[in-house]
Amino acid sequence: MTAFCGVGHVLGSIVIGFVGIAIGASLHRLQWLEGVRGPAAFGHGWGRAAAGGRRARHWRGPAALSLCGVGIVLGL
């Protein structure tokens, strides 16, 4: 019985190891996506900020773009 449990433990560990290797290999193939994700998010953020600034200026006038309420108006 002890030998049977030992063999089951070893085989289970081998299967878990192969699953980990397969997951690691698949993630390694997606590494290029990590390199693209940062700049894409940065550009998306700037685009959203520009669109929000245009919308604020359209609906509330240039005073909506003042910084901290001290009356410094951005000349957009």
Q: What is the pTM of this model?
A: 0.39
Q: Do the Cβ atoms of 44 and 37 come closer than 8 Å?
A: no
The residue type of 52 is G
pLDDT at 11: 92
DSSP label at 65?
G
Task: Dump pLDDT digits (tens) for 4-58.
Answer: 888 889 999 999 999 988 888 887 777 777 777 788 888 888 888 888 877 776 6
Q: Whole-angstrom Cα distance, residue 47 to residue 70?
A: 26
Q: Whole-angstrom Cα distance, residue 47 to residue 40?
A: 10
Q: Do the Cβ atoms of 76 and 60 come closer than 8 Å?
A: no
